[in-house]
Amino acid sequence: MTRPILYSFRRCPYAMRARLAIQSAGIQCELREIVLRDKAAAFLEASPKGTVPVVLVDGDVIEESLDVMKWALSQNDPEGWQDMPDVGHDWIARCDGPFKHDLDRTKYANRYPDADPTKSRNGAAAFLRDLNDAIGEKAWLFGNAPSWADFAILPFVRQFANIDRTWFDDQDWPNVARWLNAFLESDRFQTIMSKYSKWEPGDPVTLFP
């Protein structure tokens, strides 16, 4: 197998969760950092939809973040992320559906003039309160070991928290706060958040992880 190519953007939560799975699987990729306002022609040729992450591997193009995670974990899953109850997929669907909908209308209210940002924030908060109850006293969503669901959801909770961190920290979801902070303080997070220059054709190869 030739080394996969990963098109990524450091701050994108979809790209973050792809990098998390690739890191856990121990798959070394050629990383190409994309600037979303100035997308490389080679990137758009590979994936005309123009969103990250994108993985090119053995002639295949993997264009959705959950598909990238599934691909990586199917190659190698040393931490057992896939060994989670079926409800884990339900949590991911809630994250990617209603929670992301409300997150966008809270963070980017000017893009959605017909939406009520307060109502949207309350909707996102309802999801986080449910998540808080599900985590309980456990280290992770389903116990003492992380799962696919944890790392599929955490980048989006981070994004929501960063909209107004003072407000977020004042809310009554201590289990979510503990779960998020443990992630943000981890070596795992620091590794996937290394800064890279914008990729240009002809640049030296950058390996990840």
Q: Whole-model pTM above 0.85?
A: yes
Give percent of the chain with pLDDT exceeding 70: 100
Range of the domain at 24: 5-79+190-208
Which of 35, 85, 89, 83 minimizes the C-alpha distance to 200? 35
d(CA 38, CA 27): 28
Same-domain status, 94 and 176: yes
Q: Between 1 and 87, where is the model more confident?
A: 87
29-33 vs 5-8, strand pairing mode: parallel
Which pLDDT value is given to residue 180? 98
CATH code of 158's domain: 1.20.1050.10
d(CA 181, CA 204): 35
Number of domains comprising the chain: 2
Name the amino acid, one letter, at 83.
D
Same-domain status, 182 and 92: yes
Same-domain status, 150 and 201: no
Which pLDDT value is given to residue 92? 98
Q: State the sign of the Cα–Cα–Cα–Cα dihedral 9, 11, 14, 15.
A: positive
Average pLDDT value for residue range 105-131: 95
**Inter-residue contact 121 to 96 (CB < 8 Å):** no
**Inter-residue contact 43 to 32 (CB < 8 Å):** yes
**Inter-residue contact 53 to 116 (CB < 8 Å):** no
Residue 205 confidence (pLDDT) above 70:
yes
pLDDT bin (cut points 50, 70, 90) of residue 197 is very high
Average pLDDT value for residue range 101-118: 93
How far are the Cα atoms of 46, 68, 130 from residue 152, in angstroms, in the given order?
A: 24, 11, 16
Same-domain status, 91 and 75: no
State pLDDT tens for residues 21-59: 999 999 999 999 999 889 999 999 999 999 999 999 999
CATH code of 25's domain: 3.40.30.10
Percentages helix, strand, coil for the chain (3-state, rounded to 5) are: 55, 10, 40
Which pLDDT value is given to residue 4? 97
Residue 133 confidence (pLDDT) above 80:
yes
Which pLDDT value is given to residue 2? 84
Angle between helix 148-161 and helix 13-25 axes, rounded to 10 deg: 150
Residue 158 confidence (pLDDT) above 80:
yes
State pLDDT tens for residues 67-90: 999 999 999 999 999 999 999 999
Same-domain status, 111 and 158: yes
**Inter-residue contact 46 to 54 (CB < 8 Å):** yes
Same-domain status, 106 and 151: yes
DSSP annotation of 2 = P
Which pLDDT value is given to residue 72? 98
Residue 146 confidence (pLDDT) above 80:
yes
Residue 1 confidence (pLDDT) above 90:
no
pLDDT mean across residues, the chain: 96
Same-domain status, 181 and 195: no
**DSSP string across 115-183:** S-HHHHHHHHHHHHHHHHHHHTTSSBTTBSS--HHHHHHHHHHHHHHTTSHHHHHHSS-HHHHHHHHHH
Q: What is the CA radius of gyration of the chain?
A: 17
Same-domain status, 124 and 175: yes
